Amino acid sequence: MKLLLFILMVSSIIIAPVGQAQRIKDLASVQGVRSNQLVGYGLVVGLPGTGEQSPFTEQSFRTMLSNFGISLDSNLKPKIKNVAAVAVHAELPPFLKPGQTIDVTVSSVGEAASLRGGTLLQTFLKGLDGKVYAVAQGSMVVSGFGAEGADGSKIVANTPTVGRIANGALIERAVPSGFMQNDFLTLNLNSPDFSTAKILADTINQRLGADPDKGYVIATPIDAASVRVSAPRDVGQRVGFLATLENFEFMPAKAPARVVINSRTGTIVIGQDVRLLPAAITHGGLTVTISENQQVTQPNPLGQGDTVVTDQSIIDVNLDDTRMFKFDPGVTLDQLVRAVNEVGAAPGDLMAILEALSEAGALQGELVVI
């Protein structure tokens, strides 16, 4: 009953939003309230000759006919160029009930050229426990297309082997939820951080009128990722309590100083709190070019001698213009970017510089290479 009074108290509290403050629902999720992945295997029919003639597609086609009471001779090989084997997957959001619908994505698993114009036949979608939670069926929307000529040349736009069916799966079984199993709710931070978990718990206690100094605690941080919050046992009260709670705003702690480098794309992201210790850097390259030319030397027409082939080597050494620049103590992100731009370093050069700074211990921040 006390928690119900907290809800009434919260509804009368108005606190001005703080700059950069974020809602709890944007930074954390409720433990036990989650989506579930569903997957199934089925057949798409009605394709305009863009299907496939693979062994597993033929086996699936025979099984489908057998389920309808039609048996084919084992020596008969059906022509099924208008049929394709597909994988169907969907995401089942929490709290959806039987009779509601969800979107499904259909992807070819064989050699089908295109799924455009096809219809997915009844496909069971199963969860991780092997139980059927939804049944998918319907006509697909395929954004891509492909065309192939007699000489083997072809053109493909987007992805014609993947389609989507809006509201294409009917839910047959609800997923049990742990929303009402305990006397408390657990909030899980999207990015675990001890400081943020402490700030979140303090914010909830303050907004709901708790007094931890007197032993009256509503929210307790469990670890860097989770905060346990006492909640009403009544279903209606708990829903209202969470609706109020998730809209509280608080200022999360700053993320750790970090430099992220993607070596494949050349992308470099430098966090705001990255600092550099005093360091002097020079970066450049030595280019050596070696070319071989063969020169033929012939004797005089009346002279006695042999034709000789000699190799002529040309070696060229080019030293790039290199400059040395110095970082003073506590260089900020803005100063670092300005210094690098002044020397004209490319992304690849900057990667090498940052890695060398990290090895030298002059980079105050975590270097992450992905």
At residue 156, the 3 state secondary structure works out as: strand
CA distance 60 to 81: 14
Predicted structure pTM score: 0.69
Q: Yes or no: say if 276 and 353 are a contact pair by the CB < 8 Å rule.
A: no
Please name the fold of domain 2-32+178-250: Aspartate Aminotransferase, domain 1 (3.90.1150)
pLDDT digits (tens, 9 = 90+) for 295-338: 777 777 766 677 777 766 565 655 566 566 666 655 665 666 66
CA atoms within 13 A on the CB side of 100: 10
What backbone torsions phi and psi does residue 254 show, to the nearest 5 degrees? -65, 145
CA distance 368 to 262: 9
Which residues of the chain register pLDDT less than 50? 1-19, 286-288, 290
Residues of the chain with CATH 3.90.1150: 2-32+178-250
CA distance 304 to 295: 20
- Looking at residue 265, what is its pLDDT? 81
At residue 293, the 3 state secondary structure works out as: strand
